[in-house]
């Protein structure tokens, strides 16, 4: 069963978490108990395909779901045809997540070969199929916020699915041109793009407020696709098991991972994998000048900012991290009362202080790096010269952090965020040239865009949904 981080909502099964993000008490759903893999079980993953690993891991998260249906969804989500957008000749789409050895114990996990060229396809392709299983023909209104990649991945995962409408909020003028074209270029009666006059955090705040209105949520069957959705986090755990199995094989040795971090969903999935027994030694939280999480992991103070700093890695341009509550819940050993008090204090004072818990925080193995814009450009250039690869700005943040914290003898894995063609301006500034998108997307930039521009207003968003649901 799954419980709320704030302890006042009824326990629910996995199927319920597929559809819902925020619990009725304002908390986030987490498993009541984390399943533990034995060392021998992890060694036996070596040589298995991505779908085989996914079935083993997802079975642990979803014991209440029909196994045949769950495995069927996994088989349909993870095919070489869906994840065909490989960028290197040595990468094989059959792997779904190719792992490239760069040298000197440094590896790159290629997570962005899916239909929208971002790592978020790996979770959202599965989530789309899970929605169909759980809904069983009932309509659903998916509500989400995006800084660029979640929106396109969610829209393309839900497109064409019967009785599933998507309402996606994005910050007007704050995504890359490629991201905007991917999201806003979809012309479909079931897809509704709301371009918000504000930041990603404004979008996220509206989504949380709408989703937090229990009566509205139930009346219009509002579902979630952001990383507050536990099923999406669970699907992300899979690729950590797969990547580790590819690097360590049957030797059972440890790895370190460097994770580009904004809303704390991806690195939280790595943390869950570690709790399940995966031999991850250190988790390197890699972020940019929007360093609210870096401040926490160096001082113990969590202090959301009043505004974001715009950077070349927009998915990290956040003032607060929506998944962070789950980690704090784990730090306090599942004490929901303490978590509820901390978030009440956060609402009242704008911060909380866990400096007295730094020893416990360090025990979790998470360390952080904040990377500046000039270092991002330098790292993009370094990766091209040293390894012959072009990486996007978010991945560059993780690679810079990885190189500067790597310790001899332990494989360090950089987790890719997206393909570089999605951020042509940053690539042009760093390398002097741009990277072409896959041939299937060559006309994307000239596609007409379809959206409604609005201020970040909760009631106006509800009215927009009422009129179209």
Each residue's pLDDT tens digit, 332-379: 999 999 999 999 999 999 999 999 999 999 999 999 999 999 999 999
* The pLDDT value given to residue 136: 81
* Range of 249-258, 275-284, 429-438 with top mean pLDDT: 275-284
pLDDT band at 10 (very low <50, low <70, confident <90, very high): very high
Q: Give the closest residue to 407 by CA, choosing from 255, 191, 274, 294.
A: 255
Element at 347 (helix H, strand E): helix 336-349
Burial class of residue 436 in the structure, from the number of CB atoms within 10 Å of its CB (0-12 exposed, 13-18 middle, 19+ buried): exposed
Is there a domain that residue 416 lies in? yes
* Residues annotated as part of the active site: 120
Q: Is position 17 within any domain?
A: no
pLDDT at 225: 86
Domain count, the chain: 1
In a domain, 28, yes or no: no
* pLDDT number for residue 148: 79
Question: Where residue 201 falls among pLDDT bands split at 50, 70, 90?
Answer: confident
In a domain, 445, yes or no: no
Q: Report pLDDT for 440.
A: 80
Residue 195, beta-bridge partner list: 170, 453
pLDDT at 230: 96
How large is the average pLDDT for residues 449-464? 96
Is 427 part of a structural domain of the chain? yes
Q: Which range of residues forms the domain containing residue 236?
A: 93-113+231-431
Name the average pLDDT for the chain: 94
- Give the pLDDT score at 89: 67
Q: By three-state DSSP, how is residue 263 classified?
A: coil
Which pLDDT score is estimated for 90?
Answer: 65
Does a structural domain hold residue 196? Answer: no
- List, in order, residues 6 or more apart from 463 with CB less than 8 Å away: none
**Is 37 a domain residue?**
no
Minimum mean pLDDT range among 112-116, 117-121, 235-239, 249-253:
249-253
Q: State the pTM of this model.
A: 0.94
Q: Which of 259-263, 306-310, 457-461 has the lowest mean pLDDT?
A: 306-310
> How do residues 427-436 score in pLDDT, each as one tens digit?
999 999 999 9
Tell me the mean pLDDT in the region 30-58. 96
Q: Tens digits of per-residue pLDDT, 165-188? A: 999 999 998 888 888 999 999 999
Q: Once rounded to an integer, what is the mean pLDDT over residues 149-167?
A: 91
Residue pair 255/411 in contact (Cβ under 8 Å)? The answer is: yes
CATH number at residue 268: 3.40.50.1100
DSSP codes, 10-39: --B-HHHHHH--B-TTS-BEEESS-----H
**258 falls within a domain:** yes
């Amino acid at each position: 069963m799954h419980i709320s981080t704030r302890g006042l909502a009824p326990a629910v099964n996995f199927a319920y978490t597929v559809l819902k993000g925020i619990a009725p008490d304002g908390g986030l759903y987490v498993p009541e108990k984390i399943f533990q893999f034995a060392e021998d079980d992890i060694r036996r993953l070596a040589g298995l395909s991505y779908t085989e690993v996914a079935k083993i891991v997802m079975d642990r998260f979803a014991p209440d779901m029909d196994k045949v249906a769950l495995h069927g969804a996994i088989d349909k989500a993870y095919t070489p045809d869906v994840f065909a957008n490989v960028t290197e000749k040595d990468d094989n789409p059959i792997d779904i997540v190719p792992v490239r050895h760069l040298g000197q114990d440094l590896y790159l996990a290629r997570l962005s070969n899916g239909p929208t060229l971002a790592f978020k396809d790996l979770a959202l392709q599965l989530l789309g199929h899970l929605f169909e299983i759980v809904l069983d023909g009932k309509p659903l209104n998916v509500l989400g916020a995006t800084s660029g990649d979640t929106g396109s991945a969610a829209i393309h995962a839900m497109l064409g699915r019967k009785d599933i409408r998507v309402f996606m909020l994005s910050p007007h003028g704050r995504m890359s041109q490629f991201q905007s074209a991917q999201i806003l270029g979809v012309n479909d009666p079931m897809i509704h793009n709301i371009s918000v006059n504000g930041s990603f955090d404004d979008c996220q705040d509206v989504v949380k407020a709408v989703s937090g209105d229990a009566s509205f949520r139930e009346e219009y069957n509002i579902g979630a696709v952001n990383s507050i959705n536990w099923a999406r986090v669970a699907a992300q755990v899979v690729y950590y098991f797969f990547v580790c199995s590819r690097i360590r094989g049957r030797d059972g040795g440890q790895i370190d991972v460097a994770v580009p971090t904004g809303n704390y969903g991806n690195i939280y999935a790595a943390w869950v994998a570690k709790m399940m027994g995966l031999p991850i030694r250190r988790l390197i939280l890699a972020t940019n000048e929007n360093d609210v999480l870096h401040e926490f992991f160096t001082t113990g103070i969590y202090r959301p900012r009043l505004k974001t700093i715009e950077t070349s890695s927009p998915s990290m341009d956040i003032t607060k991290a929506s998944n962070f509550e789950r980690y704090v819940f784990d730090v306090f050993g599942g004490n929901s009362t303490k978590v509820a008090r901390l978030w009440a204090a956060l609402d009242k004072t704008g911060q909380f202080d866990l400096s007295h818990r730094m020893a416990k925080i360090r025990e979790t193995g998470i360390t952080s790096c904040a990377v500046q814009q000039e270092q991002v450009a330098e790292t993009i250039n370094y990766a091209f010269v040293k390894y012959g690869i072009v990486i996007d700005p978010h991945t560059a943040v993780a690679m810079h952090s990885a190189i500067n914290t790597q310790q001899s003898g332990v494989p360090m894995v950089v987790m890719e965020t997206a393909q570089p063609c999605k951020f042509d301006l940053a690539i042009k500034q760093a390398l002097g040239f741009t990277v072409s998108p896959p041939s299937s997307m060559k006309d994307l930039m000239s596609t007409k865009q379809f959206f409604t521009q609005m201020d970040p207003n909760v009631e106006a968003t509800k009215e927009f949904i009422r009129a179209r649901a």
